[in-house]
Amino acid sequence: MAGDVFDKNCPSRGVLEHVTSRWGVLVLAALGERELRFGELHRRIGGVSQKMLAQTLRTLADDGFVERTVIPAAPPQVSYRLTETGEQVAGHVVGLVGWIEQHLPEILAAREATPAR
Amino acid sequence: MAGDVFDKNCPSRGVLEHVTSRWGVLVLAALGERELRFGELHRRIGGVSQKMLAQTLRTLADDGFVERTVIPAAPPQVSYRLTETGEQVAGHVVGLVGWIEQHLPEILAAREATPAR
DNA sequence: CCGTATCCCACCAGATACTG
DNA sequence: CAGTATCTGGTGGGATACGG
What is the 8-class DSSP label of residue A76? -
All residues at 6 or more sequence positions from B43 whose CB lies less than 8 Å from its CB, including other chains: none
Query: pTM for the whole thing?
Result: 0.94
Closest CA to B100 of A86, A15, A29: A15
Query: Could you report the per-residue pLDDT of A6-49, keeping only the tens digit for each?
Result: 999 999 999 999 999 999 999 999 999 999 999 999 999 999 99
Tell me the residue range of the domain where A94 lies: 12-113
| Structural domain contains residue A5 | no
| Structural domain contains residue A55 | yes
Which amino acid, residue B100?
Answer: I
| Structural domain contains residue A17 | yes
For residue B97, say whether its CB is under 7 Å from any atom of strand D.
no
Q: Residue B87, exposed/middle/buried by CB under 10 A (0-12, 13-18, 19+)?
A: middle
| Structural domain contains residue B90 | yes
CATH assignment at residue A75: 1.10.10.10
- What's the total number of domains in chain B? 1
| Structural domain contains residue B6 | no
List, as ranges, residues 8-37 from A with C-beta within 8 Å of B. 8-9, 11-12, 15-17, 19-22, 25-26, 29-30
Query: Could you report the per-residue pLDDT of A54-96, keeping only the tens digit for each?
Result: 999 999 999 999 999 999 888 899 999 999 999 999 999 999 9
Contact predicate A92/B99, CB 8 Å: yes
